[in-house]
Amino acid sequence: MARTVAGRSSMDERNQQQEAKLRYVLGPEDEGTLLRTILRSKLNMSRRLMTKLKTVDQGITVNGKRLYMDARLHAGDMVELRLPTETSETIEPQPMELDILYEDQDLLAVNKPPGLIVHPTLGHYKDTLANGVMHYWLERGESYRFRPVHRLDELTSGVVLIAKNAYAHQQLSIQLQNRAVVKEYIAFVHGVVAEATGDITGPIDRDPEQPHIRIVTETGYPALTSYEVLQTYREASKVKVLLGTGRTHQIRVHMRWLGHPLIGDPMYTLPEYDHARFAGVMDRQALHAERIEFTHPLTGKRVRIEAPLAEDLVRLQAFLEQV
């Protein structure tokens, strides 16, 4: 079995060759297998994506020809998917300075600064990461739909991974569901964390009295946050955090439940800590998405992407070392 990707051959041919192609060559073990089964079991295609590609000219071919889904294939046959380019027509391109961490034909990773919303929302259609990315692609003569694989809170900085086609997005979503994506964060929290490492497993759900806030409650959804203390200061700790699940505000909620809320986070603070102590030093939650690691959906290779700490967190760290 072989799995390859055909991509752009030069910078000047982007407009003609943006469409990614995924190829699967059947091995002896695949002899007599239905095309539909190959698409589902070998390429992990969803029914929705299969239906969509069937409407695209040469969207799904076997040895260059279109076949019915119940056609039986043979060893050596080559199944090819043509992933057409798309665009997010409702997102207005907007010039924006972007810190590109990684890019290939299928993926884009950006180091999001704090204070930037990832995707337009009701009443907030501009000044988002999506607007900037759409302009970035437009300037390069490229057309893609904005498909964030995951999101960060507005005030959280760090890596945001974006898929350029439906197949890449679907495959990474499966990896997220299967916990095959490593998402590592750096957080600065109030107080000295006693245990050097630990797992926080408190279930999370909405606060019934304040629906925009999450709380740990026995009736909540399962959540797992693992942490490691990297450095302690007189009145704070720097911790590395790994997400086992992806609940809204999970790190902020779990660290508060542990008794060590994030510095600069008034929503999830505790009365025993002086939130105003860091005013002017850290004016947002001290949280940074430092690393994401995953299996590339088309090449099958493991990819690791890291984002350096945001400038305000570097300043906070220097401040903590001095007090």
Q: Looking at residue 265, what DSSP letter applies?
A: -
- The answer to whether residue 153 is catalytic is yes
Is 220's pLDDT higher than 80?
yes
Q: What is the pLDDT of residue 20?
A: 66
Is there a contact between 198 and 212 (Cβ–Cβ < 8 Å)?
no
CA angle in degrees (0–180, nearest 5) for 45-107-58: 45
Distance CA 65, CA 71 (A): 12
Distance CA 299, CA 106 (A): 10
Residues ≥6 apart with Cβ < 8 Å to 28: 75
Q: How far apart are the first and last CA of the chain?
A: 60
Q: Which residue has the tokens 């630990």?
A: 198
Distance CA 227, CA 187 (A): 10
Q: What value does the CA radius of gyration of the chain take, rounded to a whole number of Å? A: 23
Stated pTM of the model: 0.82
Distance CA 133, CA 49 (A): 24
223 closest CA partner among 231, 236, 214, 232: 214
User: Within its chain, how far is the Cα of 199 from the centroid?
Assistant: 22
Residue 309 binned pLDDT confidence (cut-offs 50, 70, 90): very high
pLDDT tens digits along 286-299: 999 999 999 999 88
Q: What is the pLDDT of residue 128?
A: 96
Q: Looking at residue 113, what DSSP letter applies?
A: P
Domains observed in the chain: 2-83 (3.10.290.10), 100-177 (3.30.2350.10), 182-322 (3.30.2350.10)
pLDDT tens digits along 102-157: 999 999 999 999 999 999 987 788 999 999 999 999 999 988 999 999 999 999 99
Residue 89 binned pLDDT confidence (cut-offs 50, 70, 90): confident
pLDDT tens digits along 30-78: 999 999 999 988 888 888 888 888 877 778 999 989 998 999 999 999 9
Q: What is the pLDDT of residue 131?
A: 96
Q: What is the pLDDT of residue 42?
A: 87
Given the residues 30, 77, 106, 153, select the one marked as catalytic: 153
pLDDT tens digits along 233-277: 999 999 999 999 999 999 999 999 999 999 999 999 999 998 788
